[in-house]
Amino acid sequence: MKKKILENVRIFREKANFSQEYLAEKMKISQPKYARFERGATKTDLDMLILFCDTIGISLMDLITYPDKYVNIDKISDPEDKVLLSIEIKKDKKDQIMRLVFGDNNLEIFNK
């Protein structure tokens, strides 16, 4: 588990296009200390993980569960939350569905 989380630390740092030096500076630690943290050469504590997440702008749960997305179960029933359903289909099936939903005439307007 620790290895996976530290791999996620590296992935998130690289996705953000941050160098180890930049993150170390933002986290107010030395670059060698950051490098040891990222490769797991030192004890990884919760405070360091939280500091990393705060600095990079992600939640600790997202860091731990990556590449899956953490979903807070308490918010699922919240009427303020919106759900977006995305379905990948072939173009000919998409056109059939769009005609069914919007009708032939409205589909032409929709596609403009």
**pTM of the prediction?**
0.60
Whether residue 5 has pLDDT greater than 70: yes
Residue extents of the structural domains in the chain: 2-73, 82-111
Residues 6+ apart with CB under 8 A from 63: 5, 8, 9, 12, 49, 52, 53
Q: Look over the chain and give the mean of its residue pLDDT values, rounded to a whole number.
A: 79
Token pair listed for 95 = 């056109």
Give 79-100 pLDDT, tens digit per residue: 555 556 566 777 777 777 767 7
**Looking at residue 77, what is its pLDDT?**
55
How far apart CA 3 and CA 31 sit, in angstroms, is 20
Protein fold of 2-73: 434 Repressor (Amino-terminal Domain) (1.10.260)
Residue carrying structure tokens 């589909």: 107
Q: At 16, which helix (H) or strand (E)?
A: none
How far apart CA 88 and CA 12 sit, in angstroms, is 27
Q: Residue 52: which pLDDT band, with cuts at 50, 70 and 90?
A: very high
**Looking at residue 96, what is its pLDDT?**
72
How far apart CA 88 and CA 46 sit, in angstroms, is 39
Give 18-46 pLDDT, tens digit per residue: 999 999 999 999 999 999 999 999 887 88
For 36, counting Cβ atoms within 10 Å of its Cβ (0-12 exposed, 13-18 middle, 19+ buried), the class is middle
Return the top range by mean pLDDT from 5-9, 74-78, 83-87. Answer: 5-9
